[in-house]
Structure 1
Amino acid sequence: MRNNLYACLLLAALGYGCAQTPSASKGPITDAAKLSEAAPTYAATITAADLSKHLTIIASDEYEGRNTGEKGQKMAAEYISREFREDGLTGPVQSNTTNPYYQTFDLEKSQWGDGYMTVGKEKYLMMQDFFVLGSSPFQTEQAVDVVFAGYGIDDAKYSDYNNLDVKGKVLVVLAGEPKGPNGNYLISGTDKASDWGNDYRSKRNAATKRGAKAVMIVTGTNPGEFNSLTQRYKAYANRPSIGLKSSNENPSAATMFISPVAGASLLGTTTEKLIGYNKQVATAGKPVAATFTAAKDVKIMTERKSEPLPTENVLGYIEGSDKKDEVVVVTAHYDHVGVEEALEGDKIFNGANDDGSGTVAVLELAEAFAQAKKDGYGPRRSVLFMTVTAEEKGLLGSEYYSENPIFPLANTVANVNIDMIGRMDYEHEKTNDSNYIYSIGADKLSSELHQINEAMNEKYVNLKLDYTFNDENDPNRFYYRSDHYNFAKHGIPIVFYFNGVHDDYHKPSDEVDKIIFESAEKVARLAFHVTWELANRDNRIVVDSNKK
């Protein structure tokens, strides 16, 4: 796409001669209207052919599925950083003197060893009766004090922690969140659940803040439900996993999903009485003091063997002009899930759609913005193009950036995230309709971002914006399942573009030849126009919601 003809085409379209560029005479343009007029010229440089060119490389067998910390991921990082460098983007990681396009850090690669919990003479086994999420402090067998903490909620409208001392103790809490006598959730006052019920991390964070050592979330109402709800943990529990390195200074409370049988045993009661607590709360419409007597002779052992795993986010930066201290971040994850040697036939998960498609879209947006800056039409706000690592391991690359930002989060205007474009999901395959994209999250923190997204689509692209997965009660929870969430949880407005799930999702058959590049081109151009508007409008978009 690097073609000197672009500048002449742009200048001709705007009434300039090719002998003179804005940057040569008056410096960069900062007039929002003039920059808006220039946008279509640069959007047109994002083409199906260029997307295909990049994706054919990074989603090839040579890149071995781009598994985090492995050879293929390193090859992809080098390819992306080289493209950023050649397009003229700056590497903004000043602390990295070797490669300023890399934000390097160590993850932990670890695997469970021996694990159990004893309650008196009863023994409950890890990976059968309970599962640990993340790290655990119980490397050796330890005696613990157990406390029941209702639903584990600590909210201004409802708190299970009033008059409860949990410091250094292990909490047993119920999954979900309470409803009132009318059937509405007590926290929201509506039929819509809050993050307390949707995201276990809210309960973990509350337990951590209160000084608890661990929080055990009773999952399901009987052994069958527990087994069903934790099936995916069984599939992965014996494999090595990857996580952010835990801080010894301020460790998070260990999080465990436990069976109702084990939970009742810990509290000296029956499963029926434990699960029946929710009816007591529903009747009272507020937290209720439980009558459970916690077991005294409880010991826990969850051995974890770990080693460091170096990896890197790849960042390319275009400095803005008159509003350069404000930053718009464009993201996609470039990792995938690697190789599965046990498979027959094709063993390589090339991840063309997930998320090679988003990665190459970010490359194309970066190149378009870089060309605009060369022509004197650079963004007023700075734009950070970032492909993140370890999304498939739990959004770890974006979480690391959000906790260690190169640019202050207070100055971060918005995040535009692209994760899987250019395919049709099950629903749209029925009508062979590829002219759509699921738009998720734009209205959750900023009404203006939602309006911008719709306006740019109507003016330039004309995709069907499908809001099915934007519903707060959507059981797929896609809003919480890609990298934008690590910006949203810090109050930064986001918009997430996603084509939905298909038969090739997380299979070796997710190949380049199945991408509809004309569809990917349209979505990438929409992302470009939204980013262009966010970067060049006079006023920073408002944050007018408390949703996370």
Structure 2
Amino acid sequence: MKHNAYGYLLLAALGFGCAQTPTTSTPQGPVTDVAQLTEVAPQYASTVTAADLSRHLTILASDEYEGRNTGERGQKMAAEYIAREFREDGLTGPVQGGSNPYYQTFDLERSQWGDGYMTVGQEKYLMMQDFFVLGSSPFQTEQAVDVVFAGYGIDAENYSDYTNQDVTGKVVVVLAGEPRGSNGNFLISGTDKASDWGNDYRTKRNAATKHGAKAVLIVTGTNESEFNSLTQRYKAYASRPSLGLKSSGNQENAAVAFVSPVAGSTLLNTTPEKLFAHGTQTGEAGGPVAGNFTAATDVKIKASRDASPLPTENVLGFVEGSDKKDEVVVITAHYDHVGVDSTLQGDQIFNGANDDGSGTVAVIELAEAFAQAKKDGFGPRRSILFMTVTAEEKGLLGSEYYAENPIFPLENTVANVNIDMIGRMDKEHEKTNDSNYIYSIGADKLSSELHQINEEMNEKYVNLKLDYTFNDENDPNRFYYRSDHYNFAKNGIPIVFYFNGVHDDYHQPSDEVDKIIFESAEKVARLAFHVTWELANRENRIVVDSNKK
């Protein structure tokens, strides 16, 4: 669907559709009395309206913004729009030393696999065909390596393949999965349930790293056909460029690669059949068995990764507090999306109206409300940083960069309120056509007070159904770890995350403005406003008194 952003920009310039500023008598100097500030809160919350959310989103999620892909033209356009709104609403730009005080600029690293192979004597095995490297590589140039076999690569309390093994600086070859005993149960768990040693390759990587290995090669599949099937998705993923934070050049973890049975057995001067027989022997023995393989001695590996910088920016607007200005509440949403796919038939633009244009425009509206309150003498006691972050879709990179390079000290950061995908119904709530809900995630994980504030503000002002389904530590979706708030939470900063859930338009070109329920988005944004107002104006900073997962 084509949207005409120019017309909306013209209407915005004329002030059409803007909420009216509440009429409040201006006090002499900033108000710091909690009761007075509480009394005027609803007046400023009322400036956050469905009409204004719609006005902003119709522009930011239009085709002109080309899906706001990180580092590309549309993302830059969105950054300019947000920064202009912050500036015109009276927020200050807190970033010093750059050309734009509203931008925290930094370089991501765009990288792609280049030349890669592994030679064993006269045999040559190719990257993307016979092996796939996951993550970074210490083999930018061809290197001779020492190879050692370490069974399944397991190092658990009741089972270790590393006993009496010196793997320091070496390449460790291990079998995928984990061994079963003669009774059919897994040896690690003692049950029919596999452990992380069999389910998550990172567990074996961490064990190899702990013992000083340079890399761990996991023999995957029992034959070439099975290897190709199991690694198909890695092949598709690895063939595309990826983005990450700029590498420090230090290889913190052992490199990881999935290797074919033929390549893996050749590294050990054996055959796939004899290699897999080792697994059978382990199961029969009920514990680790020393491998009787003689590792190849003439092994060289190259797995180069070509990298180039990609400039991008977080957009920051700041409202300085009054008597508690050194303490900061941070409000976030990500303004990037996934861009354009020219291979599609029909609509090729992923406008990202819900993901996360909806959260972005909520942040813009909250920023305007708090800035107006300050102009009227009712500014927050604590400072508030409004931040729309880049590169969330690439792995929460914008918020991770801020957490590692904060404009305001993390120890002074009171809480983070994060808004991602509001104003829609997920599949579960579509069944009853119920849009009067919000998934509330994370408020109780680090602070019982934040959870209490969230519930009290909702009951007093908004009356949404607070759905805690995804707050359950056993929920398989693990949304608590999947949006920008987590980069604050992992640094011990209490967070609350507002989210309406996933629908059929998620990461599709059909995620369009006309599907947003702006009345629902207004209520969620107002809840975020009231929680932020309370966090910023209460007498005492909220406590950090919990340690839930």
Same fold (TM over 0.5): yes
> 2:455 — aligned with what?
454
Q: Distance in 1 between matches of 2:337 and 2:57?
A: 13
- Compared CA separation, residues 224 and 29, structure 1 to 2 (3 A): farther
Identify the match of residue 94 of structure 1 among 73, 96, 103. 96
**How far is the alpha carbon of 1:360 from its aligned partner?**
0.6
Spell out, residue by residue over 1:486-520, the C-alpha distance to the aligned partner (whole angstroms, 9 max, x if none): 22222222222222221111111111111111111
- Compared CA separation, residues 29 and 153, structure 1 to 2 (3 A): farther
**How far is the alpha carbon of 1:531 from its aligned partner?**
1.7
**Contact 2:416–2:494 under 8 Å retained in 1:** yes
Spell out, residue by residue over 1:140-188, the C-alpha distance to the aligned partner (whole angstroms, 9 max, x if none): 2223345678998999999998987665444567899999xxx99999x
> 2:425 — aligned with what?
424
Taking the TM superposition and a 5 Å limit, the aligned residue runs for 1:348-427 are: 348-427=349-428
> 2:337 — aligned with what?
336
**Contact 2:447–2:542 under 8 Å retained in 1:** yes
- Compared CA separation, residues 116 and 104, structure 1 to 2 (3 A): same
Spell out, residue by residue over 1:302-331, the C-alpha distance to the aligned partner (whole angstroms, 9 max, x if none): 222222111111111111222222211111
Taking the TM superposition and a 5 Å limit, the aligned residue runs for 1:308-347 are: 308-347=309-348
Tell which deviates more after alignment, 250-259 or 35-44: 250-259
Task: State yes or no: 1:75 paired with 2:77.
Answer: yes
Tell which deviates more after alignment, 536-545 or 393-402: 536-545
Q: Distance in 1 between matches of 2:69 and 2:40?
A: 39
Spell out, residue by residue over 1:73-111, the C-alpha distance to the aligned partner (whole angstroms, 9 max, x if none): 100000000111111111111121x10110111112222
> 1:44 — aligned with what?
46
Taking the TM superposition and a 5 Å limit, the aligned residue runs for 1:86-235 are: 86-96=88-98, 98-118=99-119, 125-128=126-129, 130-146=131-147, 167-170=168-171, 212-214=213-215, 232-235=233-236
Q: Distance in 1 between matches of 2:419 and 2:178?
A: 31
**Contact 2:214–2:255 under 8 Å retained in 1:** no
- Compared CA separation, residues 102 and 251, structure 1 to 2 (3 A): farther
Name the SS for the 1:304 alignment partner. strand
**How far is the alpha carbon of 1:429 from its aligned partner?**
1.5
TM-score using structure 1 length: 0.82
Task: State yes or no: 1:507 paired with 2:508.
Answer: yes
**How far is the alpha carbon of 1:459 from its aligned partner?**
2.1
- Compared CA separation, residues 140 and 493, structure 1 to 2 (3 A): same
Q: Distance in 2 between matches of 1:36 and 1:429?
A: 35
Name the SS for the 1:236 alignment partner. helix
Q: Distance in 2 between matches of 1:34 and 1:161?
A: 66
Name the SS for the 1:6 alignment partner. coil
Gaps of 5+ in 2: 1-11
**Contact 2:392–2:399 under 8 Å retained in 1:** yes
> 2:487 — aligned with what?
486
Name the SS for the 1:112 alignment partner. strand
Q: Distance in 2 between matches of 1:199 and 1:527?
A: 37
Q: Which has the larger radius of gyration?
A: 2
- Compared CA separation, residues 224 and 277, structure 1 to 2 (3 A): farther
Which letter does structure 1 place at the counterpart of 2:516? I
- Compared CA separation, residues 38 and 490, structure 1 to 2 (3 A): same
Tell which deviates more after alignment, 292-301 or 331-340: 292-301
Spell out, residue by residue over 1:310-365, the C-alpha distance to the aligned partner (whole angstroms, 9 max, x if none): 11111111112222222111111111111111111111111111111111111111
Name the SS for the 2:108 alignment partner. strand
Which letter does structure 2 place at the counterpart of 1:6? T
Tell which deviates more after alignment, 75-84 or 137-146: 137-146
**How far is the alpha carbon of 1:5 from its aligned partner?**
5.8
Which letter does structure 2 place at the counterpart of 1:466? D
- Compared CA separation, residues 67 and 291, structure 1 to 2 (3 A): same
Which letter does structure 1 place at the counterpart of 2:142? E
**How far is the alpha carbon of 1:476 from its aligned partner?**
2.4
> 1:15 — aligned with what?
none
> Aligned residues: percent identity?
78
Q: Distance in 2 between matches of 1:107 and 1:186?
A: 40
Spell out, residue by residue over 1:16-38, the C-alpha distance to the aligned partner (whole angstroms, 9 max, x if none): xx3xx22x2xx322233332222
Which letter does structure 1 place at the counterpart of 2:88? E
Q: Distance in 2 between matches of 1:355 and 1:101?
A: 20
> 1:14 — aligned with what?
none
- Compared CA separation, residues 323 and 122, structure 1 to 2 (3 A): farther
> 1:518 — aligned with what?
519
Gaps of 5+ in 1: 12-17
- Compared CA separation, residues 346 and 221, structure 1 to 2 (3 A): same
**Contact 1:222–1:259 under 8 Å retained in 2:** no
Name the SS for the 1:520 alignment partner. helix
> 1:467 — aligned with what?
468
Name the SS for the 2:21 alignment partner. helix
Q: Distance in 1 between matches of 2:201 and 2:153?
A: 10
- Compared CA separation, residues 204 and 71, structure 1 to 2 (3 A): farther
Q: Distance in 2 between matches of 1:149 and 1:545?
A: 40
**Contact 2:334–2:420 under 8 Å retained in 1:** yes
Q: Distance in 1 between matches of 2:450 and 2:411?
A: 17
**Contact 1:222–1:271 under 8 Å retained in 2:** no
Aligned residues: 523
Q: Distance in 1 between matches of 2:161 and 2:379?
A: 52
Which letter does structure 2 place at the counterpart of 1:37? E
Name the SS for the 2:399 alignment partner. helix
Identify the match of residue 36 of structure 2 among 34, 37, 41. 34
